[in-house]
Structure 1
Amino acid sequence: MKHAGRQSLRRPWPVRLSEGPVGLRPLRTRDAGAWRQVRSRNLAWLQPWEATPPPGVDPRPRSFRAMTRSLRAQARVGLCLPFVVTYADSGSDPDATTARAERLVGQLTVSGITLGSARWAQIGYWIDQAYAGRGIMPTAVALACDHCFFVLGLHRIEINIRPENAASLRVVDKLGFRREGIRPRYLHIDGDWRDHVAYALHAEEVPEGVLTRWRRRRAMEERHRGTSAPQQGPSA
Protein backbone atom coordinates (compact mmCIF):
# COMPACT_ATOMS: atom_id res chain seq x y z
CA MET A 1 0.00 0.00 0.00
CA LYS A 2 1.38 3.44 -0.92
CA HIS A 3 1.01 6.06 1.78
CA ALA A 4 2.79 9.07 0.26
CA GLY A 5 1.82 9.78 -3.29
CA ARG A 6 3.84 8.04 -5.99
CA GLN A 7 7.10 7.40 -4.15
CA SER A 8 8.92 4.07 -4.05
CA LEU A 9 8.66 2.51 -0.60
CA ARG A 10 12.13 0.94 -0.91
CA ARG A 11 14.36 3.94 -1.57
CA PRO A 12 15.00 6.32 1.34
CA TRP A 13 17.18 8.81 -0.62
CA PRO A 14 17.36 10.35 -3.16
CA VAL A 15 13.62 10.24 -3.70
CA ARG A 16 10.83 12.20 -5.36
CA LEU A 17 7.43 12.40 -3.66
CA SER A 18 4.24 13.85 -5.09
CA GLU A 19 0.55 14.37 -4.49
CA GLY A 20 -1.34 16.02 -7.34
CA PRO A 21 0.50 19.20 -8.37
CA VAL A 22 2.63 19.27 -5.19
CA GLY A 23 6.05 17.67 -5.28
CA LEU A 24 9.17 17.16 -3.19
CA ARG A 25 12.51 16.48 -4.83
CA PRO A 26 16.16 16.74 -3.75
CA LEU A 27 17.73 20.19 -3.63
CA ARG A 28 20.26 20.64 -6.48
CA THR A 29 23.06 23.12 -7.11
CA ARG A 30 21.38 24.04 -10.42
CA ASP A 31 18.35 25.28 -8.44
CA ALA A 32 20.40 28.37 -7.53
CA GLY A 33 18.71 30.79 -9.94
CA ALA A 34 15.13 29.81 -9.10
CA TRP A 35 15.91 29.60 -5.38
CA ARG A 36 17.49 33.08 -5.28
CA GLN A 37 14.61 34.55 -7.26
CA VAL A 38 11.99 33.19 -4.87
CA ARG A 39 13.99 34.20 -1.81
CA SER A 40 14.62 37.76 -3.01
CA ARG A 41 10.93 38.21 -3.78
CA ASN A 42 10.02 37.03 -0.26
CA LEU A 43 12.56 38.84 1.92
CA ALA A 44 10.00 40.66 4.06
CA TRP A 45 7.75 37.56 4.28
CA LEU A 46 10.55 35.24 5.45
CA GLN A 47 12.92 37.44 7.47
CA PRO A 48 11.06 37.29 10.83
CA TRP A 49 11.39 33.47 10.81
CA GLU A 50 14.91 33.14 9.39
CA ALA A 51 17.75 31.50 11.33
CA THR A 52 20.61 33.92 12.03
CA PRO A 53 24.18 33.38 13.33
CA PRO A 54 24.43 33.62 17.14
CA PRO A 55 27.02 35.93 18.69
CA GLY A 56 30.53 34.69 18.10
CA VAL A 57 29.65 32.87 14.88
CA ASP A 58 30.83 34.13 11.48
CA PRO A 59 27.96 36.44 10.39
CA ARG A 60 28.66 36.08 6.68
CA PRO A 61 25.87 34.10 4.96
CA ARG A 62 26.84 30.88 3.22
CA SER A 63 26.53 30.78 -0.54
CA PHE A 64 23.74 28.72 -2.07
CA ARG A 65 26.34 26.31 -3.45
CA ALA A 66 27.95 25.84 -0.02
CA MET A 67 24.55 25.30 1.63
CA THR A 68 23.52 22.75 -1.00
CA ARG A 69 26.78 20.83 -0.82
CA SER A 70 26.58 20.68 2.97
CA LEU A 71 22.98 19.43 2.96
CA ARG A 72 23.64 16.87 0.23
CA ALA A 73 26.68 15.56 2.12
CA GLN A 74 24.51 15.13 5.23
CA ALA A 75 21.85 13.39 3.14
CA ARG A 76 24.37 10.88 1.80
CA VAL A 77 25.10 9.69 5.34
CA GLY A 78 21.45 9.68 6.40
CA LEU A 79 21.41 12.76 8.61
CA CYS A 80 18.91 14.86 6.66
CA LEU A 81 16.59 14.97 3.65
CA PRO A 82 16.95 18.34 1.84
CA PHE A 83 13.92 18.83 -0.41
CA VAL A 84 12.65 21.67 -2.52
CA VAL A 85 8.87 22.06 -2.74
CA THR A 86 7.53 22.23 -6.29
CA TYR A 87 4.14 23.08 -7.71
CA ALA A 88 2.95 22.07 -11.17
CA ASP A 89 1.57 25.42 -12.27
CA SER A 90 -0.26 25.82 -15.58
CA GLY A 91 0.40 29.56 -15.42
CA SER A 92 -2.12 32.06 -16.71
CA ASP A 93 -3.19 30.05 -19.76
CA PRO A 94 -6.66 28.62 -18.96
CA ASP A 95 -6.50 26.39 -22.06
CA ALA A 96 -3.17 24.76 -21.18
CA THR A 97 -3.46 21.02 -21.78
CA THR A 98 0.20 20.05 -21.95
CA ALA A 99 2.38 19.13 -18.99
CA ARG A 100 2.45 21.98 -16.48
CA ALA A 101 5.64 23.75 -15.49
CA GLU A 102 7.10 22.57 -12.21
CA ARG A 103 7.91 25.70 -10.19
CA LEU A 104 10.17 25.85 -7.16
CA VAL A 105 7.91 27.41 -4.50
CA GLY A 106 9.63 26.54 -1.24
CA GLN A 107 11.97 24.35 0.72
CA LEU A 108 11.48 21.56 3.25
CA THR A 109 14.27 19.88 5.21
CA VAL A 110 14.04 16.82 7.41
CA SER A 111 17.00 17.22 9.77
CA GLY A 112 18.49 15.71 12.90
CA ILE A 113 17.61 12.19 11.76
CA THR A 114 18.41 9.87 14.66
CA LEU A 115 18.08 6.10 14.49
CA GLY A 116 18.75 3.53 17.20
CA SER A 117 16.32 3.58 20.09
CA ALA A 118 15.20 7.19 19.38
CA ARG A 119 14.19 7.07 15.68
CA TRP A 120 13.13 10.68 15.34
CA ALA A 121 13.71 13.77 13.19
CA GLN A 122 12.49 17.34 12.85
CA ILE A 123 11.06 19.23 9.89
CA GLY A 124 11.53 22.85 8.87
CA TYR A 125 9.97 24.59 5.88
CA TRP A 126 9.20 27.84 4.08
CA ILE A 127 7.03 28.74 1.08
CA ASP A 128 6.75 31.54 -1.47
CA GLN A 129 4.08 33.95 -0.19
CA ALA A 130 2.43 33.93 -3.64
CA TYR A 131 1.67 30.20 -3.14
CA ALA A 132 0.71 30.28 0.54
CA GLY A 133 -2.83 29.34 1.50
CA ARG A 134 -3.31 26.74 -1.26
CA GLY A 135 -2.66 23.66 0.88
CA ILE A 136 0.77 23.18 -0.71
CA MET A 137 2.85 23.13 2.46
CA PRO A 138 0.52 20.87 4.47
CA THR A 139 0.66 18.44 1.55
CA ALA A 140 4.46 18.66 1.38
CA VAL A 141 4.84 18.10 5.14
CA ALA A 142 2.43 15.14 4.98
CA LEU A 143 4.46 13.58 2.15
CA ALA A 144 7.69 14.02 4.12
CA CYS A 145 6.18 12.61 7.32
CA ASP A 146 4.89 9.49 5.59
CA HIS A 147 8.27 8.94 3.96
CA CYS A 148 9.92 9.21 7.38
CA PHE A 149 7.44 6.90 9.09
CA PHE A 150 6.93 4.24 6.41
CA VAL A 151 10.26 4.24 4.58
CA LEU A 152 12.88 5.39 7.08
CA GLY A 153 11.06 3.68 9.95
CA LEU A 154 11.12 6.72 12.22
CA HIS A 155 8.89 6.89 15.28
CA ARG A 156 8.65 10.63 15.95
CA ILE A 157 8.51 13.80 13.83
CA GLU A 158 8.89 17.16 15.52
CA ILE A 159 8.24 20.69 14.23
CA ASN A 160 9.25 23.75 16.28
CA ILE A 161 7.55 27.05 15.43
CA ARG A 162 7.72 30.58 16.80
CA PRO A 163 4.39 31.32 18.50
CA GLU A 164 3.99 34.47 16.37
CA ASN A 165 4.25 32.53 13.09
CA ALA A 166 0.55 32.10 12.34
CA ALA A 167 1.06 30.67 8.84
CA SER A 168 3.31 27.84 10.06
CA LEU A 169 1.02 27.14 13.01
CA ARG A 170 -1.84 26.57 10.55
CA VAL A 171 0.18 23.84 8.84
CA VAL A 172 0.66 21.74 11.98
CA ASP A 173 -2.95 22.36 13.01
CA LYS A 174 -4.26 21.09 9.67
CA LEU A 175 -2.15 17.93 9.94
CA GLY A 176 -3.09 17.18 13.54
CA PHE A 177 0.31 17.64 15.16
CA ARG A 178 0.16 17.57 18.95
CA ARG A 179 1.33 20.65 20.87
CA GLU A 180 3.91 19.72 23.50
CA GLY A 181 4.81 23.10 24.98
CA ILE A 182 7.16 26.07 24.86
CA ARG A 183 10.92 25.74 24.34
CA PRO A 184 12.40 28.96 25.72
CA ARG A 185 15.10 30.68 23.64
CA TYR A 186 15.30 27.58 21.46
CA LEU A 187 16.78 28.93 18.18
CA HIS A 188 18.58 32.09 17.08
CA ILE A 189 16.04 33.66 14.72
CA ASP A 190 15.99 37.14 13.20
CA GLY A 191 18.84 38.37 15.41
CA ASP A 192 18.02 36.90 18.83
CA TRP A 193 17.30 33.69 20.72
CA ARG A 194 13.57 33.05 20.29
CA ASP A 195 11.02 30.92 22.07
CA HIS A 196 9.43 28.17 19.99
CA VAL A 197 6.39 25.94 20.41
CA ALA A 198 7.11 22.22 19.99
CA TYR A 199 4.67 20.08 17.99
CA ALA A 200 5.06 16.36 17.37
CA LEU A 201 3.52 13.25 15.84
CA HIS A 202 4.33 9.63 16.66
CA ALA A 203 3.96 6.91 14.05
CA GLU A 204 1.30 5.05 16.04
CA GLU A 205 -0.88 8.19 16.10
CA VAL A 206 -1.26 8.05 12.30
CA PRO A 207 -1.30 4.37 11.25
CA GLU A 208 -3.14 5.37 8.08
CA GLY A 209 -0.50 7.98 7.22
CA VAL A 210 -0.43 11.75 7.54
CA LEU A 211 -1.30 12.24 3.88
CA THR A 212 -4.46 10.14 4.23
CA ARG A 213 -5.44 12.20 7.27
CA TRP A 214 -4.84 15.42 5.32
CA ARG A 215 -6.83 14.19 2.29
CA ARG A 216 -9.74 13.36 4.59
CA ARG A 217 -9.65 16.80 6.22
CA ARG A 218 -9.50 18.59 2.86
CA ALA A 219 -12.47 16.58 1.59
CA MET A 220 -14.47 17.51 4.71
CA GLU A 221 -13.56 21.20 4.29
CA GLU A 222 -14.62 21.14 0.63
CA ARG A 223 -17.94 19.49 1.52
CA HIS A 224 -18.50 22.09 4.25
CA ARG A 225 -17.80 24.93 1.83
CA GLY A 226 -20.23 23.41 -0.64
CA THR A 227 -23.05 23.05 1.90
CA SER A 228 -22.49 26.51 3.43
CA ALA A 229 -22.52 28.35 0.07
CA PRO A 230 -25.50 30.74 -0.24
CA GLN A 231 -28.37 29.28 -2.24
CA GLN A 232 -29.60 31.18 -5.29
CA GLY A 233 -33.33 31.84 -4.99
CA PRO A 234 -35.77 32.16 -7.90
CA SER A 235 -36.05 35.49 -9.67
CA ALA A 236 -38.88 37.71 -8.60
Structure 2
Amino acid sequence: MPSAVLPILRDGEVVLRPIRSRDAKPLERSLLDNRAWLRQWEATYPGGGTAIDVKASIRNLLAHARAGTALPFVIEVDGEIVGQLNVSSITHGSLSSATIGYWVSQHVAGRGITPTAVALATDYCFLVLRLHRMEICIRPENGPSLRVVEKLGFRYEGLRRRFIHINGDWRDHFAFGLVAEEVPRGVLSRWRDGRAPQDAARVPEADQVAAVHPLRVGDR
Protein backbone atom coordinates (compact mmCIF):
# COMPACT_ATOMS: atom_id res chain seq x y z
CA MET A 1 0.00 0.00 0.00
CA PRO A 2 1.45 3.44 -0.88
CA SER A 3 2.28 5.92 1.87
CA ALA A 4 -0.63 8.15 2.86
CA VAL A 5 -0.18 11.84 2.02
CA LEU A 6 0.53 13.93 5.12
CA PRO A 7 -1.17 17.28 4.53
CA ILE A 8 -1.40 20.46 6.58
CA LEU A 9 -5.06 21.24 7.31
CA ARG A 10 -6.31 24.60 8.61
CA ASP A 11 -9.47 26.30 9.75
CA GLY A 12 -9.14 29.64 11.48
CA GLU A 13 -6.80 29.30 14.44
CA VAL A 14 -6.76 25.49 14.29
CA VAL A 15 -3.97 23.78 12.36
CA LEU A 16 -3.45 20.04 11.87
CA ARG A 17 0.06 19.30 10.70
CA PRO A 18 2.05 16.07 10.36
CA ILE A 19 3.80 14.98 13.54
CA ARG A 20 7.61 15.21 13.47
CA SER A 21 10.38 13.62 15.50
CA ARG A 22 11.32 17.00 16.97
CA ASP A 23 7.82 17.32 18.44
CA ALA A 24 8.80 14.80 21.13
CA LYS A 25 9.88 17.33 23.77
CA PRO A 26 6.91 19.73 23.53
CA LEU A 27 4.49 16.80 23.37
CA GLU A 28 6.06 15.15 26.39
CA ARG A 29 5.86 18.43 28.32
CA SER A 30 2.18 18.84 27.38
CA LEU A 31 1.34 15.25 28.30
CA LEU A 32 3.02 15.60 31.70
CA ASP A 33 1.34 18.96 32.36
CA ASN A 34 -2.03 17.39 31.52
CA ARG A 35 -1.41 14.04 33.21
CA ALA A 36 -4.37 14.21 35.58
CA TRP A 37 -6.65 15.39 32.76
CA LEU A 38 -5.61 12.73 30.23
CA ARG A 39 -4.59 9.65 32.17
CA GLN A 40 -8.10 8.26 32.59
CA TRP A 41 -8.48 8.15 28.78
CA GLU A 42 -4.94 6.99 27.97
CA ALA A 43 -4.42 3.81 25.96
CA THR A 44 -2.23 1.28 27.77
CA TYR A 45 -0.75 -2.14 27.11
CA PRO A 46 -2.00 -5.22 29.01
CA GLY A 47 0.70 -6.08 31.50
CA GLY A 48 2.77 -3.08 30.43
CA GLY A 49 4.10 -0.08 32.32
CA THR A 50 2.81 3.48 32.40
CA ALA A 51 5.95 5.40 31.45
CA ILE A 52 5.49 8.01 28.71
CA ASP A 53 7.84 7.32 25.78
CA VAL A 54 6.92 10.00 23.28
CA LYS A 55 9.90 9.38 20.99
CA ALA A 56 8.96 5.72 20.57
CA SER A 57 5.32 6.66 20.03
CA ILE A 58 6.25 9.11 17.28
CA ARG A 59 8.51 6.53 15.59
CA ASN A 60 5.61 4.08 15.63
CA LEU A 61 3.17 6.64 14.22
CA LEU A 62 5.55 7.62 11.43
CA ALA A 63 6.12 3.97 10.54
CA HIS A 64 2.36 3.50 10.14
CA ALA A 65 2.23 6.69 8.04
CA ARG A 66 4.94 5.35 5.73
CA ALA A 67 2.96 2.13 5.39
CA GLY A 68 -0.10 4.13 4.35
CA THR A 69 -2.22 3.03 7.32
CA ALA A 70 -2.21 6.22 9.41
CA LEU A 71 -2.25 10.02 9.32
CA PRO A 72 -0.59 11.24 12.54
CA PHE A 73 -1.11 14.93 13.30
CA VAL A 74 -0.38 17.41 16.03
CA ILE A 75 -3.03 20.05 16.75
CA GLU A 76 -1.69 23.61 16.89
CA VAL A 77 -3.33 26.86 17.94
CA ASP A 78 -1.37 30.08 17.42
CA GLY A 79 1.76 28.02 16.86
CA GLU A 80 1.42 26.10 20.14
CA ILE A 81 1.01 22.32 20.16
CA VAL A 82 -2.19 21.69 22.11
CA GLY A 83 -2.91 18.05 21.25
CA GLN A 84 -2.75 15.18 18.81
CA LEU A 85 -5.12 13.60 16.31
CA ASN A 86 -4.40 10.27 14.66
CA VAL A 87 -6.28 8.72 11.77
CA SER A 88 -5.47 5.03 12.10
CA SER A 89 -6.40 1.65 10.62
CA ILE A 90 -6.70 3.18 7.15
CA THR A 91 -7.87 0.60 4.64
CA HIS A 92 -8.85 1.01 1.01
CA GLY A 93 -10.67 -1.27 -1.40
CA SER A 94 -14.01 -2.76 -0.45
CA LEU A 95 -13.84 -1.46 3.15
CA SER A 96 -12.32 2.02 2.63
CA SER A 97 -12.46 3.07 6.26
CA ALA A 98 -10.43 4.54 9.10
CA THR A 99 -10.62 5.35 12.81
CA ILE A 100 -9.96 8.67 14.56
CA GLY A 101 -8.47 9.18 18.02
CA TYR A 102 -7.42 12.45 19.66
CA TRP A 103 -6.54 14.40 22.79
CA VAL A 104 -6.25 18.11 23.61
CA SER A 105 -4.74 20.04 26.51
CA GLN A 106 -7.12 21.01 29.29
CA HIS A 107 -6.50 24.75 28.86
CA VAL A 108 -8.00 24.75 25.35
CA ALA A 109 -10.92 22.39 26.04
CA GLY A 110 -14.35 23.78 25.27
CA ARG A 111 -13.19 26.18 22.54
CA GLY A 112 -14.36 24.08 19.59
CA ILE A 113 -10.81 23.04 18.73
CA THR A 114 -11.40 19.29 18.92
CA PRO A 115 -14.54 19.16 16.73
CA THR A 116 -12.81 21.44 14.22
CA ALA A 117 -9.80 19.12 14.09
CA VAL A 118 -11.96 16.00 13.77
CA ALA A 119 -14.02 17.62 11.00
CA LEU A 120 -10.89 18.69 9.10
CA ALA A 121 -9.41 15.19 9.26
CA THR A 122 -12.69 13.51 8.30
CA ASP A 123 -13.22 15.82 5.35
CA TYR A 124 -9.69 15.11 4.11
CA CYS A 125 -10.27 11.36 4.36
CA PHE A 126 -13.59 11.54 2.54
CA LEU A 127 -12.84 14.17 -0.10
CA VAL A 128 -9.15 13.53 -0.84
CA LEU A 129 -8.37 9.95 0.17
CA ARG A 130 -11.85 8.88 -0.97
CA LEU A 131 -12.46 6.74 2.10
CA HIS A 132 -16.05 5.71 2.69
CA ARG A 133 -16.43 5.40 6.47
CA MET A 134 -14.94 7.00 9.58
CA GLU A 135 -15.30 5.67 13.11
CA ILE A 136 -14.73 7.15 16.56
CA CYS A 137 -14.94 5.00 19.72
CA ILE A 138 -15.41 6.76 23.06
CA ARG A 139 -15.58 5.63 26.66
CA PRO A 140 -19.07 6.13 28.14
CA GLU A 141 -17.61 8.32 30.90
CA ASN A 142 -15.85 10.70 28.51
CA GLY A 143 -18.35 13.57 28.35
CA PRO A 144 -16.15 16.01 26.38
CA SER A 145 -15.51 13.48 23.60
CA LEU A 146 -19.17 12.52 23.46
CA ARG A 147 -19.99 16.19 22.87
CA VAL A 148 -17.61 16.20 19.89
CA VAL A 149 -19.52 13.48 18.03
CA GLU A 150 -22.83 15.07 19.05
CA LYS A 151 -21.79 18.40 17.52
CA LEU A 152 -20.55 16.83 14.29
CA GLY A 153 -23.49 14.48 13.80
CA PHE A 154 -21.68 11.14 13.96
CA ARG A 155 -24.19 8.30 14.30
CA TYR A 156 -24.27 6.05 17.35
CA GLU A 157 -23.60 2.45 16.27
CA GLY A 158 -23.39 0.43 19.46
CA LEU A 159 -21.74 -0.58 22.72
CA ARG A 160 -18.43 -2.44 22.39
CA ARG A 161 -17.62 -4.46 25.47
CA ARG A 162 -14.05 -4.42 26.86
CA PHE A 163 -12.94 -2.93 23.56
CA ILE A 164 -9.67 -1.05 24.23
CA HIS A 165 -7.13 -1.26 27.06
CA ILE A 166 -7.36 2.14 28.75
CA ASN A 167 -5.75 3.30 31.98
CA GLY A 168 -4.83 -0.22 33.05
CA ASP A 169 -7.91 -2.28 32.11
CA TRP A 170 -10.15 -3.31 29.22
CA ARG A 171 -12.83 -0.64 28.89
CA ASP A 172 -16.25 -0.51 27.26
CA HIS A 173 -16.68 2.01 24.44
CA PHE A 174 -19.53 3.58 22.52
CA ALA A 175 -18.94 3.41 18.74
CA PHE A 176 -19.92 6.22 16.35
CA GLY A 177 -19.67 6.23 12.57
CA LEU A 178 -20.12 8.43 9.52
CA VAL A 179 -20.10 7.57 5.82
CA ALA A 180 -19.23 9.87 2.96
CA GLU A 181 -22.76 9.93 1.48
CA GLU A 182 -24.04 11.61 4.65
CA VAL A 183 -21.77 14.64 4.22
CA PRO A 184 -21.38 15.36 0.47
CA ARG A 185 -20.30 18.95 1.23
CA GLY A 186 -18.12 18.03 4.18
CA VAL A 187 -18.42 17.60 7.94
CA LEU A 188 -16.99 21.02 8.79
CA SER A 189 -19.40 22.98 6.60
CA ARG A 190 -22.39 20.93 7.80
CA TRP A 191 -21.52 21.67 11.41
CA ARG A 192 -20.80 25.35 10.83
CA ASP A 193 -24.03 25.76 8.86
CA GLY A 194 -26.05 24.16 11.67
CA ARG A 195 -27.07 21.21 9.50
CA ALA A 196 -25.60 18.40 11.63
CA PRO A 197 -28.40 16.18 13.00
CA GLN A 198 -28.85 16.90 16.68
CA ASP A 199 -29.77 13.40 17.81
CA ALA A 200 -27.61 11.16 15.60
CA ALA A 201 -25.14 10.46 18.43
CA ARG A 202 -27.82 9.81 21.04
CA VAL A 203 -27.04 6.64 23.00
CA PRO A 204 -30.12 4.47 23.70
CA GLU A 205 -31.06 4.19 27.35
CA ALA A 206 -30.45 0.43 27.35
CA ASP A 207 -26.83 0.94 26.32
CA GLN A 208 -26.37 3.75 28.84
CA VAL A 209 -27.59 1.43 31.57
CA ALA A 210 -25.42 -1.45 30.33
CA ALA A 211 -22.34 0.78 30.31
CA VAL A 212 -22.81 1.52 34.00
CA HIS A 213 -22.23 -2.18 34.65
CA PRO A 214 -19.01 -3.17 32.84
CA LEU A 215 -18.75 -6.74 31.65
CA ARG A 216 -16.42 -8.69 33.93
CA VAL A 217 -14.35 -11.75 33.25
CA GLY A 218 -16.52 -14.81 33.83
CA ASP A 219 -19.82 -13.01 33.19
CA ARG A 220 -22.24 -14.78 30.90
Partner of 1:142: 119
CA distance in 1, matches of 2:59, 2:45: 19
Q: CA-to-partner distance for each residue in 1:38-94, whole Å, 9 max, x for gaps? A: 111110110110111113xx4364622221111111101210000000112xxxxxx
Partner of 1:68: 58
Whether 1:192 aligns to 2:182 is: no
Q: Point out the structure with max Rg over C-alpha.
A: 1
Q: Secondary structure at the match of 2:45?
A: coil
The 5 A counterparts of 1:58-137 are: 58-59=48-49, 61=51, 63-88=53-78, 102-137=79-114
2:39 to 22, 40, 47: 47
What is the one-letter code of the residue matched to 1:114? Answer: T
Gaps of 5+ in 2: 196-220
TM-score (norm 1): 0.79
Q: CA-to-partner distance for each residue in 1:119-153, whole Å, 9 max, x for gaps? A: 00000000000000000000000000000001111
Name the % identity.
56
Q: Secondary structure at the match of 1:217?
A: coil
Gaps of 5+ in 1: 1-10, 89-101, 219-236
- Seen in structure 2, the aligned counterparts of structure 1 residues 14 and 54 have a Cα distance that, compared at 3 Å, is same
Partner of 1:33: 25
Q: Secondary structure at the match of 2:10?
A: strand
CA distance in 2, matches of 1:61, 1:217: 42
CA distance in 2, matches of 1:203, 1:167: 24
TM-score (norm 2): 0.84
Partner of 1:14: 6
Q: Which runs of 4+ in 1 moved over 3 A?
A: none
* 8 Å contact from structure 1 (residues 177, 199) kept in 2: yes
What is the one-letter code of the residue matched to 2:20? Answer: R
